[in-house]
Amino acid sequence: MKLSELEAAVEAILFTMGEAVELERIAAATEQDEDTCRRVIRSMMDKYSGEDRGIQIIELEGAFQMCTKASAYESIVKIAHVPKKHVLTDVMLETLSIIAYKQPITKAEIERIRGVKSDHPLNKLIEYNLVCEVGRLDAPGRPILFATTEEFLRNFGIGSLDDLPVVNPEKIEDFKLEAEEEVQLELDI
């Protein structure tokens, strides 16, 4: 298969699927080895990002997806209905960050960390497709385990969970002290 044919095949696959496609599946569909496909896709990613185009290819944990560039949003809005903008409150961001760093995690564990019920923020994160159920814990009651989705990676511009910022251990101690002080203040009132 010529390079131009392979690029066309990859482009067609990614365009048609509309979601992230694993490298292994692309290689099988194009009858190429994974290394060749990876090189071709990365070359295509460079071409798309270097040119004035409205689309791009992004990598999400070993899978690839074709999507529009953020710079094309204004043009899309003029022709399509304005999509509902999801607003993430501080409570939702706090819940999402706990899930992102501790996943897979149960609702009870989230609530233990936050110190309050988390039904509403968790349900909203699921509705926004930033979090999903990924199974059940092998424990009494078989509680549901939650984790982040590909949509989370896309929305936050993260290629992989490994790209999440590392929290400085000194900051964690500062946060613990602040939380303990807040609890003590509330008890004193």
Q: Which residues of the chain have pLDDT under 70?
A: 81-85, 189
How confident is the model over 15-42, as pLDDT tens digits? 998 889 999 999 999 999 999 999 999 9
Task: Specify the pLDDT at position 84.
Answer: 64
Rounded Cα–Cα distance for residues 31 and 16 (Å): 18
CATH of the domain spanning 90-188, picked from 1.10.10.10, 3.40.1280.10, 3.40.980.10, 3.40.50.10490: 1.10.10.10
Task: Specify the pLDDT at position 29.
Answer: 93
Task: Specify the pLDDT at position 81.
Answer: 66
Cis peptide, bond prior to residue 104, ω within 30 of zero = yes
Rounded Cα–Cα distance for residues 161 and 109 (Å): 20
Q: Radius of gyration of the chain from Cα atoms? A: 21
Q: Delimit the domains of the chain by residue range.
A: 3-78, 90-188
The CATH number of domain 3-78 is 1.10.10.10: yes
Q: Do domains 3-78 and 90-188 have the same CATH topology?
A: yes
**For the chain, how long is the longest CA-to-CA vector?**
75
CA atoms within 13 A on the CB side of 93: 7
CA angle (164, 166, 172) in 5-degree steps: 130
Which residues make Cβ contacts (< 8 Å) with residue 34, sequence separation at least 6?
23, 24, 27
Provide the 10 A C-beta neighbour count for residue 14: 22
